[in-house]
């Protein structure tokens, strides 16, 4: 019931068929509130039509409003023969219950700006898959640096309300007429945390992804098949541990999390004789990253990213 935003990487059934059911579950845990902001859903063009039709055909009535913001993909995000032009959906005005923005690729930034507020920025970037797929980067904005007590003393600023005003970014004028700007007494801004999540892909499209993911605290990347199956992985628009690790290394990320494993790789506890252990993928990735620890994602896993100081 606390969910406010949902992000869909691509329109393959295993990644979005459950969405109408999730919305109905949220509705069951909600109470009517006309003042509550709508649940915002982001995903490729065509997602709005799917959700509206699914809810309409199933006679589902939600107790909350929702908005669907659609990303218009480019033709170079999948094999030419697989690309389907849904541009006619941009002009569909019949689905009044879920209007939202139509987001085109920013030709300068080579990305899509999805969310920006006082605390964070969330963007999408293009991936190559069998159908258009997207990655997402969530980045906190830098926090104001600490006040330098020594600089304040040197300038004759006594502890009190002026400290708070300077910390808030307000220039102050002392009784002796001296003007002090926040930049005079604040230490360097504290960088925010950054998380990057890639949908199904065998690579990125354009240069934006490397720039956006640079020095991310966590990179979540698919690794469907092991390194010996690289050609097969690419053929189906997927990645291997080496491919994921090469991208992580290029972006200088601090922690790599692998996900989206083929059913052939079993958790150690469930492995029968002859089965391939999923830790094989972990070992292959760590080899590329010179022993840096790689995490294998599991359902309901929580990864803590400490605030930077």
Q: pTM for this structure? A: 0.87
What structural domains and CATH numbers belong to the chain? Answer: 1-104 (3.60.15.10), 112-142+190-308 (3.60.15.10), 149-184 (no CATH)
Catalytic residue, candidates 14, 85, 188, 299: 14
Q: Which of 193, 183, 251, 191 has its CA nearest to residue 221?
A: 251
Q: Say what the pLDDT of residue 94 is.
A: 54
| pLDDT lower than 50: segments of the chain | 96
14 flagged as catalytic:
yes
Q: Which of 226, 6, 44 has its CA nearest to residue 127?
A: 44
Q: Say what the pLDDT of residue 168 is.
A: 80
Q: Say what the pLDDT of residue 216 is.
A: 98
Tens of pLDDT along 256-296? 999 999 999 988 777 676 667 899 999 999 999 999 999 99
* Residues facing 204 on adjacent strands: 127
Provide the 3-class DSSP secondary structure of residue 194.
strand
Q: Say what the pLDDT of residue 98 is.
A: 63
């Amino acid at each position: 019931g606390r969910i406010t935003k949902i992000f869909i990487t691509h329109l393959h059934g295993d990644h979005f068929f459950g969405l109408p059911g999730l919305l109905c579950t949220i509705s069951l845990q909600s109470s009517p509130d006309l003042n509550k902001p709508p649940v915002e859903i982001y995903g490729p063009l065509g997602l709005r039509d799917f959700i509206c039709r699914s809810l309409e055909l199933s006679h589902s009535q939600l107790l909350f409003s929702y908005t669907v913001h659609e990303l218009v993909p480019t033709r170079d995000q999948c094999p030419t023969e697989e690309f389907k032009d849904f541009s006619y959906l941009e002009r569909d005005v019949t689905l009044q219950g879920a209007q939202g923005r139509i987001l085109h690729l920013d030709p300068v930034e080579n990305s899509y700006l999805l969310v920006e507020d006082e605390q964070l920025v969330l963007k999408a970037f293009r991936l190559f898959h069998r159908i258009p797929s997207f990655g997402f980067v969530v980045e906190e904005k830098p926090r104001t640096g600490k006040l330098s007590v020594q600089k304040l003393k040197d300038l004759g600023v006594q502890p009190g309300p002026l400290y708070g005003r300077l910390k808030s970014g307000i220039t102050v004028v002392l009784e002796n007429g001296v003007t002090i700007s926040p930049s005079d007494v604040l230490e360097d801004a504290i960088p925010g945390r950054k998380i990057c999540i890639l949908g199904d892909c065998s690579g990125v499209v354009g240069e934006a992804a490397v720039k956006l993911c640079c020095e991310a605290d966590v990179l979540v990347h698919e690794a469907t098949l092991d390194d010996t199956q690289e050609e097969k992985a690419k053929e189906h628009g997927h990645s291997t541990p080496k491919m994921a690790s090469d991208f992580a290394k290029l972006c200088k990320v601090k922690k790599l999390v692998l996900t989206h494993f083929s059913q052939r790789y079993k958790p150690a506890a469930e492995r029968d004789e002859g089965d391939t252990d999923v830790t094989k993928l972990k070992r292959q990735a760590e080899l590329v990253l010179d022993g840096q620890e790689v995490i294998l994602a599991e359902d309901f896993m929580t990864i803590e990213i400490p605030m930077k100081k």
